[in-house]
Each structure stands twice: as C-alpha cells, then as structure tokens.
Structure 1
Amino acid sequence: MLVQTEAQIYLANQRGNSYSDGFRSFHTLNFGNYLAEGRASFGRLLAFNDEALAAGKRTVITSSKPVEIILLPITGGLELIDRYGESIFVSSGEAFRFLAFPESSFTVFNPYPKETINYLQIQLIPDLSSDAIDNHFDETPHVQFSLEGKNNLVPVFSGIGQKVSGFMGKYGGREEEEFKPSNPYAGIFTYIIQGAFEVQNRLLEKGDALSLTNVETLEFEALSEDGIILVMEVGHTL
C-alpha cells in the first residue's frame, strides 16, 4: 500500500519573533510566547530559532523541561557560558550540543567588538534512556565540519541516541542532490540558510523551511550559486 507523503512549508515571513537589547530571534516553530496554528513541534524537533546577537551583547538560555540544544553558528562565533562560569567558543564551521535542565542556565555571548553574529538554536526532545545517556557522554559534543567541498551534504550534528541528525551542504547553481534517511520512519526537516532551492518540487528561499513525513528520498536542486541548505533527519518521540 502506498503511503501518502505529508509536507508542510514554513515561510520565513510568517515566523514568530522576539527581541531584546541587541538580540533577535526568528521562530520557525512555536517557542516561548509565540504560539501559532501549524507551528507545533515536529517529531523530536521542539524548536528551531534563527538568532542574531549584536557585538558585546549576551542572551540567556533557560528551559522549563529537559531539552537537548544544538548551537550552530552561521556568521561569526559565540561564547557559551554555563552557570559556573565555564565557557566554550563555537565558531562557524562548528556545532555544539548540550543538555539543559530546568535548574540550569546558559549564556550566549558575542565577544566581537563590532560584528553581529548569527546562529541557529535547535531544541530537541532528548532520549534520556540509560543507554542513550551513556553513549552521549562517550561522544564529543563539539563537532567541526567544512563546506569547502561543494555539492554534497556533510554531517554537522547528531542528537542523543542518534534520534536526530543534521547535514549541511553548499551547492552551485542547478546542482542536484538526493538524501535518503537512515531510518525510513523518520521525518525530514529542511531549512534554507542561504540562497534558494527547489526541495521536493517546492520553492524555498532563505529562512524558509519544509517538513516531510513518509518520504523515502529527499530531492533538491540549488537555484542560486553558493546556496546553503540544512537537512535534518528527525525521529519520532515514541
């Protein structure tokens, strides 16, 4: 029996947003005070925020429940500081993942004197089973990758228990690609970081996203030179 593919487009100009001193966040999915129809979590993907932080400014990350957070700098780098004052620097070409609990607090700081930084904050429902947690502490949370080799997807992060994986690629104009999820029951979430793409016969531009379920192969084509796309394989919560 054929299973119908389900798709949903999240347009950039329909995202939620929040602002504070020197900080802005665009919310593709429901987050904080932003609650909109059709913007609920997608499988284990709880939140997907495109954030910018002005030079010398900082913002605090807190959570009312356990979440796994991926920070993925797009422009510049950020300093992540925990409540004990321990810090780590994460630059573009790197990703960092960590667990946040209700009692924890993390600060994102822009250390540059003049430049605004741009990064993605991705929140996931964590797999808190004992096996997944044991493997989590055996894996490095700080990953480096390169987009210098164009026209292919490279792995940039994976969640606890490998329930969510992220891949990024930079493509020349009219270059095509296929992506097959390792788990045939997983959903696919794509986000356009730069340029324009045709994804599964749908036009997506910078800041647009697309979620798909019941899809065996994702097909996309870059419509602009040096377009950058993020593709996530997203497991279900059960």
Structure 2
Amino acid sequence: MANTVLHKADTRGHANHGWLNSFHTFSFANYYNPERMHFGALRVLNDDTVAAGMGFGTHPHDNMEIISIPLEGDLEHKDNIGNATVIRNGDIQVMSAGTGVYHSEYNKNKDQLVKFLQIWMFPNRRNVTPRYDQITLNKADRKNQLQQIISPYPDDAGVWVHQDAWFHLADFDQGHTAEYSIKKAGNGVYVFVLKGDVSVNDQSLSTRDGLGVWNTEHLSIQANSAAEFLLMEVPMNV
C-alpha cells in the first residue's frame, strides 16, 4: 500500500518581504514546521515572486543541488565561478553548490514581476567541485506527455544532478491520463501542481497543491482540467 502526504496550497509557509513574496512547501528561513522538513532528498520547494528590479544579493550555498524553474519573467544570475546569465520561462537552471559557491539572483526587468520555483535537493556526493548549467527546453515536448528536465546522467535528457532524481514537467489537456513508473527502487515522487486540477492515484489536487507518494512502483495521473505540473522523483533515504 502506497504512503502519501498531502500539502494543500493554503497550508504552506508564507513570507511577504515586499520585494519578495514566497510560499514554502517545506521549512525554510522563519517558517519552521517539524512535520515538513523535507520529502526524502527534496529539501526546499519555494514558490517565489520577485518585484521589478529587485532580488537576492550575493549569498553562499554549499553541499546542495539547487534548481531554478522560471515561470514568468526574466531572472538574472551571477556567481563567483564565472557565470552571468538570464533564465526565462522554458529554461531550467541547476547549480551544484558542493564545496561552496556565492551567487545573486535579480529580476532583470524594471516593469514586471519574475516568478520562479526554487528547489533544493540533498546531493548524493558531498564537497564536489561547484558547477553551473542551464538549458532551454522545447515546451511543446510536455504537451500531453511527461518531459524529463532533470536526471542523474549528463548524457540524458535535461540537466543532471548529483542525486538519483528525475524531474518531469507536463502540460495536459483536460481528461488526459498518464502512468509514471518509479525509475529507482526505494524512490518516492512529489507532484506539485502549477495550475489546474489533477488527480494522482485518485487524490484530487488543485493549483499549487503538492502530493508526496512512496512505497509504490507506479503513479496514475489524470488532468481534471487543463493542467500543468512538476513531478519530482527523489530518494527517500537521505
């Protein structure tokens, strides 16, 4: 029998700093919930909106896989390992912090918001050499199918991470269904709904709801409306 944990959108931690409006699925900064520390290797899932021209000043990270998925607008990234880039909707960014990296993230535009998901995962190797990567995806490849955006393998689709994790994005029409098979025994899956209504193993989810499922080999997914969602398969033992 599969285990599940449901996180409704309105139960998330919330911090509005004026320039930053952030919702936290898991404990982060001043939001602390001992029952919501992480889902396996998935440590942070922040749903961030940054005001025009504002952003995160230079700050450090180490021994974490950090993934940014822009949803709207343009996010400017700079770091101390030589990268100065802009990521937009359709791009995926990954940073392996490893032994330590400093970076900043700003809304590049002075006239519109930037919205993005900031995701942290515990790595399966500590103290690696820091690295940065970003790719631009073909958004048509997620129409009524699961588009792989992250894997453990440099030669596989998407960007790679130091973890036995696979992420997929999907954009389903109402009524479309899909089956997802766990790629590595012992892994679990966390589904986060970006917009619309989705059922996962008959559990109904709406915009910004999250559902973690483990002790199973398969998931059944159905779009109850036009829907977009992120599916994250991660190790449960960390």
% identity of equivalent residues: 24
Q: Which runs of 5+ in 2 are unaligned?
A: 152-159
Residue matched to 2:96: 99
Q: TM-score, normalised by structure 1?
A: 0.87
- Root-mean-square deviation (CA, aligned residues, Å) is 2.3
Whole-Å Cα distance in 1 between the matches of residues 7 and 135 of structure 2? 28
Residue matched to 1:13: 10
Q: Does the CA-based 8 Å contact 1:145-1:154 persist in structure 2?
A: no
Deviation at 1:206, TM superposition (A): 0.7
Q: Does the CA-based 8 Å contact 1:7-1:213 persist in structure 2?
A: yes
Whole-Å Cα distance in 1 between the matches of residues 99 and 16 of structure 2? 22
Whole-Å Cα distance in 2 between the matches of residues 86 and 146 of structure 1? 23
Q: Does the CA-based 8 Å contact 2:188-2:215 persist in structure 1?
A: yes
Tell me how many residue pairs correspond in the alignment: 229
Whole-Å Cα distance in 1 between the matches of residues 103 and 191 of structure 2? 27
Residue matched to 2:140: 148
1:37-56 to 2 correspondence within 5 Å?
37-56=34-53
Q: Does the CA-based 8 Å contact 1:71-1:121 persist in structure 2?
A: yes
Residue matched to 2:232: 232
The residue matched to 1:66 in structure 2 has which SS? coil
Q: Which runs of 5+ in 1 are unaligned?
A: none
Judged with a 3 Å threshold, the aligned counterparts in structure 2 of structure 1 residues 25 and 102 are, in CA distance, closer, same or farther, namely farther
Q: Does the CA-based 8 Å contact 1:127-1:160 persist in structure 2?
A: no
Q: Does 1:71 align with 2:64?
A: no
Judged with a 3 Å threshold, the aligned counterparts in structure 2 of structure 1 residues 20 and 46 are, in CA distance, closer, same or farther, namely same
Judged with a 3 Å threshold, the aligned counterparts in structure 2 of structure 1 residues 54 and 160 are, in CA distance, closer, same or farther, namely same
Deviation at 1:40, TM superposition (A): 1.8
The residue matched to 1:13 in structure 2 has which SS? helix
Residue matched to 2:155: none
Give CA deviations for 1:31-61 in whole Å, capped at 9, x if unaligned: 1121114212111111110001111111247
Whole-Å Cα distance in 2 between the matches of residues 40 and 123 of structure 1? 12
Q: Does the CA-based 8 Å contact 2:61-2:101 persist in structure 1?
A: no
